[in-house]
Amino acid sequence: MLNLFFPSVCEACNNLLGDGELVLCLSCRHQLPVTNHHFENSEVVKKIVYGRVQLENATALLHFSKKGIVQQILHNLKYRGHKQISGFFGKWLGNELAQISAYNSIDVVVPVPLYKTRLRQRGYNQVEDFGREIAKAINAEYCDTVLIKTKSTKTQVFKERLTRWSDEGSIFNITESNSLEGKHILLVDDIITTGATVESCASVLLKIDNIKLSLATMAIAD
């Protein structure tokens, strides 16, 4: 009855989902531009922040391009309340990372936080379930309280990397650090573009004594 009045549709093509299909239809899932960075031990993601952030490991599940299928899906996640996309990608990537020894040493998964007013407006952090599912898959702790965003920022997609980094340089803070000392932290976000947000988060996380930092995102901008 629920499907009769509120049918489940694919987050990419909007066609009705068939039996056994969740979030995406099989056709669209097969069209997704997966990166395989973690399987290939690729350093493409790490190179975005090379010389600015020391990462142990870094990966992204999908390639992101303007007007592409991944942009459509992430737009539904961030602006249309389709929260289920986050957990879907988290289970997918988490199951793959669980097969890779480099990610099995991770102790804590930490999401990039939203500013409090944005969180109230949206009702959820779009990477929360992504991080939770990854943590579950690799037997790590999930912690969304240690890293906080201290001020609001406007969308900065079209700014140059250095300008954006300068703007975001001090907008994150940590609430406490003792419980994370000596830990391997996996920072998770929805998309990496210039690496400015990662660098800003890393600048405060790396103040914690003797930690290692890795990164996982839903997508990487081409």
* Residues 215, 201: Cα–Cα separation, whole Å: 11
Tokens of 18: 């068939």
Of 201, 3, 186, 200, whose CA–CA distance to 97 is shortest?
Answer: 186
DSSP string, the chain: -HHHHS--B-TTT-PBP-TT--SS-HHHHHHS-B--TTTTT--HHHHHTTTT---S-EEEEEEE-TTSHHHHHHHHHHHS--THHHHHHHHHHHHHHTT-GGGTT--EEEEPPPPHHHHHHHSS-TTHHHHHHHHHHTT-EE-SSSEEE-S-----TTS-HHHHHHHHTTSEEES--GGGTT-EEEEEEEEESSSHHHHHHHHHHTTSTT-EEEEEEEEEE-
Taking only the tens place, the pLDDT of each residue in 28-78 is 999 999 999 999 999 999 999 999 999 999 999 999 999 999 999 999 999
Taking only the tens place, the pLDDT of each residue in 193-204 is 999 999 999 999
Architecture of domain 34-221: 3-Layer(aba) Sandwich (3.40)
* Residues 34, 152: Cα–Cα separation, whole Å: 32
- CB-CB contact of 162 with 119 (8 Å): no
> Residue length, the chain?
222
* Residues 32, 27: Cα–Cα separation, whole Å: 9
> pLDDT tens track of the chain, all 222 residues?
445 455 789 999 999 999 889 999 999 999 999 999 999 999 999 999 999 999 999 999 999 999 999 999 999 999 999 999 999 999 999 999 999 999 999 999 999 999 999 999 999 999 999 999 999 999 999 999 999 998 887 654 434 444 444 444 468 999 878 889 999 999 999 999 999 999 999 999 999 999 999 999 999 998
Mean pLDDT estimate for the chain:
90
pTM of the model: 0.90
* Strand partners of residue 9: 16
Contacts of 214 (CB under 8 A, 6+ apart): 55, 56, 57, 58, 103, 106, 184, 185, 186, 187
Parse the chain into domains and list their residue ranges. Answer: 1-31, 34-221
